[in-house]
Each structure stands twice: as structure tokens, then as C-alpha cells.
A and B are shown apart, each in its own frame.
Chain A
Amino acid sequence: MAGSAAVLEDGSLVSRLDRRLLKAEKLLALISGLAVFSLMILAVVSVGGRNAINAPLPGYVDWIEQIMPLIAFMGIAYVQREGGHIRMDIFIGALRGRALWLFELVSVLLILLLILALVWGSWSHFLRSFDFAAPLWSRDSSIDIGLPIWPAKLLAPVAFAVLALRLLLQVWGYGRALVLGLETPPAVPLVQSAAEQAAAEAEQLAGHDTNGSGQG
């Protein structure tokens, strides 16, 4: 299924590393969420300031453009860990056992290749905007109030580096499953059977829905 999937845990080294990395990934994803929240607050300050005291937030657009990379990148490894980046599973969903692990492994290796290239490319994009000798270390600034852009540009290689770690773990996880012929390997998102997924989903939604049911 394209959306969420389950990641099993056990005492193996790869699973222990998975859980350790997950903590960091979840924190980064929450930062993404808080950044969305800050967009809202920013608008309230800007509209409120304009209407109440004729003082709109200076550089409103510049600030939004600085916040967007936080929102877009920080959660990327977390979504990969949960198997949340969408895909077509008509073909791969029909595979079982070693054949499945082989395709998953090749797929993750290709993604790793792309992400390593993007760590390089986005790092060089960052470097072009960064200069120790310049005021605020800035070689690229925003259009309106001249904010340095390098901190926002740095977010891409950082987030991609964390994603690269996640992908390495998944290469290990799928590779181990392929070599050992495992049925249900830990530390990688599994295509679940319907019943397993239903149980997981019901558990997850049970808490969410109490709020809404009062209205129903």
C-alpha cells in the first residue's frame, strides 16, 4: 500500500540502530510541523500589525521563503522510514520473499545514489551562498530585507545526509533479509497483510477520533 507501512523491531543490531535513528528523524519531522505552525503565526502578526498599528511585518515574504525549506526537507528521512513516500505497488506488491527483497534493495540503492548526488549538489549550492569573509557569512541574500540565505540552503544537505543514513540502514535491512531469506525482517517498511494493517490503523486512530465523535 502506498501510504503507511509497518516497521518491525527486534534485538538485532540493525533494529537497534533503526530505533536510535528514528528518534532523531521524528524530532526533525516535528520541526517541520512546528515550522508550518510558525507560518500561521507569521500571518497573524503581519495582518494584525498592519491593521492594528499600521506596521506590517518587514520582509514577510522573505521570512516565508526562509521557513519553507524547514517544512519541506526536515521530515524526509522520517517519511522514508515509515514507507510514506508514495509509489506504485501493483508489481512489487505481488512479489514475495527473496525476489521482493531484491527489488526493494535495488530500489533503495538507486535512491541512495540519487541522494548522495544531491548531498553533493545541494552542499555546493550552499557553499556558493556562504563566505566566511563576508558580513553574516553571506554571499546570497533575500530580495526584500537582505536576510542571508545560507542557513536555509544548508538545510537541504543536512536533511539529505540524514536520509542517506536511513537509506544505508534500509540497504542493510533489505540486504540482510535477502541473504538470510527472512520472512519478516526488522528495520524496513513491510508491505503488510490487510489484517495486520487494520489492527495497526485502528489502534492509531482510536485516540484521534474521540474528539470528533462528540459531534456525531
Chain B
Amino acid sequence: TEWNVSLWGKRRAFTEHVEKLAELVSEKTNGEFTLNISYGGLSKNKENLDGISIGAFEMAQFCAGYHRDKNPTITVLELPFLGVNTLEEEVAVSHAVYAHPAVQEDLARWNAKLLMTSPMPQYNIVGTGEPRDELAEFKDMRVRATGGIGQAFSAVGAVPTSVTATEAYNAMESGVVDTVAFAQHAHLSFGTINKADWWTANLNPGTVNCPVVVNTDAYEALSDAEREALDSSVDEAIAHYLENYGALLTKWDSVLEEKGVEKVMISDEQLAEFRKVAADPIREQWIKDMSAQGLPAQELYDLVQKTLNDVRSGS
């Protein structure tokens, strides 16, 4: 069996688990089952779910925030200030949510089955000039942030500004935005770190959630041995991803040092205030909207919090 896998961009920390998965699956089946990974050749990233639904390819990665209406249930994982601090926690909450029947039903509309997540660290902001470490200083700040994170900044008086990722550096340089919210690897690859004077180390406003899915029919058509090879490789692929991203995060500190970027720590009181203003109303609105669509919104949110507690208590 040969599967086509639709990713985008180029091979990077964000795609290492899929690369590893391909390696493992081929190894375990003696090359009987191969994953043929394509970076952007098979589909545009915002249409990977469409491609899965059509049956054009068998596996794909996408981010929930690209198209909230396509995958309303997963957007629970993109709510601001969920409280996720590490990549391991991000994996745990994502996989718990993916296992929920309502989420599986949501994705079944696309003939898609959730396989694993692509854990992303929190979208902390870089900025120029004096560090903004108090809520009051976020007022009128033009920030490049989309979706739930954008809404959170908006709640404290900042002005979310639409700029594509590729224009982020330019927008920062030209003062179109004062700050940019990205994960570390994106601050590196889009060059925003080169423009920065400071980076918020502990704001942790939220992140995006990017699952890897497979076409349900193709998954069911696999032989038992092939399916077993695929399923059993997920944990190892994720472990490889975490190790690789961990190395990048270690490097991050030295990058900050090298470029003279200040690590800004925001006080607990300020963070609590931010959460109160931004997190609660946005979450409540989300629960209200999703419940109106007949989705078990409260249940999904509670599942995230319960999983987070379980992970931390080590059970």
C-alpha cells in the first residue's frame, strides 16, 4: 500500500512526527506500506480536509484555526489561556479531545479519522521598544494575532491586525504591527525574532491545534498488519517530535541571548487579570455558540481541564 500525505511548507520541527511515522511504518512492514510525503504539492494547507474528504490523498495535517467552521469541536483547544504549559500537556489534552465521540463525529463529516496531534508551544509575543509587561500597556498595541488569541488581546484593548505569516516581518519593520504572536519555530523561520527587543516568556496566551488525520476508507482498507504498524507507531513518532522540538527550545534561549532579546516575565497578578478579562468571557461565548449548534461544548472544555489535572498529578 502506498499512501499520499499532504503537508505544506518544508520539512521542519512541525512535521518531524509525520516523517518519523513514515520511517517507522515502512520499517515495520518491510516496505509493504509506505507514506509518500508531499510538502504542498497535493493541496493548499487550508484545503487539506477537503482533499481527505474527496479521497485525493490518505493522510494530511491541518490547523483548526485555519477554518473554525470546518472543525468547530477542535477549536476548544485553541481557546485562550487554557493553562497548557508544556508540549507533553498539549499532547495529552489534544489526544483526549480527539478521542471524544463528538469530535470524531465532527471530523467524520470529512471522512477523516484523527490520528495524532502536532503539539505547538504557546504563542508568545515579540515586540520592539520598551517591554510591555503590564496589561495597561497592551492598550492600543497593534498585534499580529489571529483567532482566539487575537480575541484575547482585543479584550484588553489591543488591536489585532491581519497580516499573513510571510508579511509579519515586514509588518513589524514598518510599524504596521508593534508585536507578533508566534510559536518559537515560527519566530525563527519568519525572522520576527531579528526585529525583536523583547519576548514574553510566560504570557502563554494560547496556541493553535494542528491534527494529523487519515481518510477513513483508506484506513479501513489497510490490512491488519498495516493498520497495526500505523497505530503502534504514533506514540514513538510523537516522542521523536517532542525530543526534536525540545532541542529547538533549548536553542531558543541561546538565540535570545545572541540577538540581545530581553525575556519578559509578567507578574502573576497581571496574568490573573488578563485571564479574567480575556479568557473567561471568550470561553463563555464559545460555549454558548457551540452549544447552540448542538455540540457538547462544556463537556469538551471540562475534558481539557480534567486531562490537564490528571497529567499534572501524574495519574
Please say whether the chains A and B touch (CB closer than 8 A): yes
In the complex, whether B67 has a CB less than 8 A from a CB of chain A is yes
Interface residues of A, CB < 8 Å — how many? Answer: 25
Q: How far is the CA of A144 from the CA of B50 in the complex (A)?
A: 20
- Given A62-B162, A144-B147, A144-B150, residue A50 in contact with residue B69 (CB < 8 A): no
Out of B68, B142, B162, name the residue touching A61 (CB < 8 Å). Answer: B162
Q: How far is the CA of A61 from the CA of B46 in the complex (A)?
A: 15
- For the A-B complex, the count of residue pairs with Cβ-Cβ distances under 8 Å equals 57
Residues of B within 8 A of A56 (CB): 142, 159, 161-162, 176
Within 8 A of A (CB), among B121-179: 140, 142, 146-147, 150, 159-164, 176
- Given A54-B159, A143-B67, residue A135 in contact with residue B293 (CB < 8 A): yes
Q: Is the pair A146, B164 in contact by a Cβ cutoff of 8 Å? A: no
Q: Is the pair A134, B293 in contact by a Cβ cutoff of 8 Å? A: yes
Q: Is the pair A139, B159 in contact by a Cβ cutoff of 8 Å? A: no
Within 8 A of A (CB), among B28-50: 46, 50
In the complex, whether B65 has a CB less than 8 A from a CB of chain A is yes
Offer 9 A-B interface pairs, CB within 8 angstroms, sorted by A.
Answer: A56-B142, A56-B159, A58-B162, A61-B163, A61-B164, A129-B69, A134-B69, A140-B67, A143-B65
Within 8 A of A (CB), among B252-295: 289, 292-293
Interface residues of B, CB < 8 Å — how many? Answer: 24
- Given A61-B164, A62-B162, residue A146 in contact with residue B68 (CB < 8 A): yes
Inter-chain pairs besides A56-B176, A138-B69, 15 sampled, C-beta below 8 Å:
A54-B142, A54-B159, A56-B142, A56-B159, A60-B161, A62-B162, A128-B50, A134-B69, A135-B293, A143-B67, A144-B147, A144-B150, A144-B160, A144-B162, A145-B162
In the complex, whether B70 has a CB less than 8 A from a CB of chain A is yes
Q: Separation in Å of the A126 CB from the closest CB of chain B? A: 11
Residues of A within 8 A of B66 (CB): 143
- The chain A residues found within 8 Å of chain B, CB to CB, are 50, 54-56, 58-62, 125, 128-129, 134-135, 138-146, 148-149
In the complex, whether B61 has a CB less than 8 A from a CB of chain A is no
Q: How far is the CA of A55 from the CA of B53 in the complex (A)?
A: 39
B70's closest neighbor in chain A, by CB? Answer: A140
Q: Is the pair A141, B68 in contact by a Cβ cutoff of 8 Å? A: yes
Q: Separation in Å of the B47 CB from the closest CB of chain A? A: 8
Q: Is the pair A139, B50 in contact by a Cβ cutoff of 8 Å? A: no
Q: How far is the CA of A141 from the CA of B292 in the complex (A)?
A: 18
Q: How far is the CA of A149 from the CA of B50 in the complex (A)?
A: 14
Q: How far is the CA of A138 from the CA of B71 in the complex (A)?
A: 11
Q: How far is the CA of A55 from the CA of B164 in the complex (A)?
A: 18
Q: Separation in Å of the B158 CB from the closest CB of chain A? A: 11
Q: Is the pair B70, A58 in contact by a Cβ cutoff of 8 Å? A: no
A54, A134, A144, A149: residue with the most chain B Cβ atoms closer than 10 Å: A144
